[in-house]
Structure 1
Amino acid sequence: MKKVEVIVRTTEDNFPPQEKVVLKFTEQTVSSAETDAVLSYPGLEIHLEHYRVFKNGQEVYMSRYEYGVLSLMARHPGQLFTKEQIFEAVWHQDSESCLTAVTNAIGRHPAEN
């Protein structure tokens, strides 16, 4: 069984890193046609072509950046990303300008276990 966890790690000088799991899913399945791709997890569906997310059958409204972070993580289970890599992939800008954008996009939706 595959597990997908989105973990936010914060670091500060002279303090140990702090980690928080913000999203947790298991058993990814992807439909065969890329244009109709749907990432399915128990209780969660991500419709890649239409940029829509459903949790337990109810649509979850997200900003384009929140959706971008979620779909990036869901498409690459088990892969660890830096804040800079997430920013470049989702915002399509150089990572030098990322500041707190990634943290804010991830932190808006608390995980429900």
Structure 2
Amino acid sequence: MFKEVNQEVQSGLVVTDNTKESFQSIFSMTNEIAGKLQTMNSTVEQLSDRSQHVSAAVSGIADVSKESSASIQDIAASAEEQLASMEEISSSATTLAQMAEELRDLTKQFKIE
């Protein structure tokens, strides 16, 4: 009977050792998974920060684009005003040339004696 009890105790010790090794393996894997989760969490936080920076940069670019568009519209309006002024000047120059021609024709009628 002692022999059987001794065998049962030995068998129980083997099972206990196997269980201990299994728990140690589970503990080790759990620690490894926890480390990987921390790394993933850190990576996700970095991606979130970078996304916020990219979003801010895109917003800044959009603001600059709006300002540029407004400036371009102002420049286009100024160019149109300058074109209108140049057309007025050209028209005035043409009128002045015609008046000079008429004045020359009129002065030809007078003879100085």
Alignment TM-score, normalising by the size of structure 1:
0.14
Instruction: Please state which structure has a larger fraction of its residues in helix.
Output: 2
Query: Of the two structures, which has the highest relative contact order with CA contacts closer than 8 Å and spacing of 6 or more?
Result: 1
Larger Rg: 2
Instruction: Please state which structure has a larger fraction of its residues in strand.
Output: 1
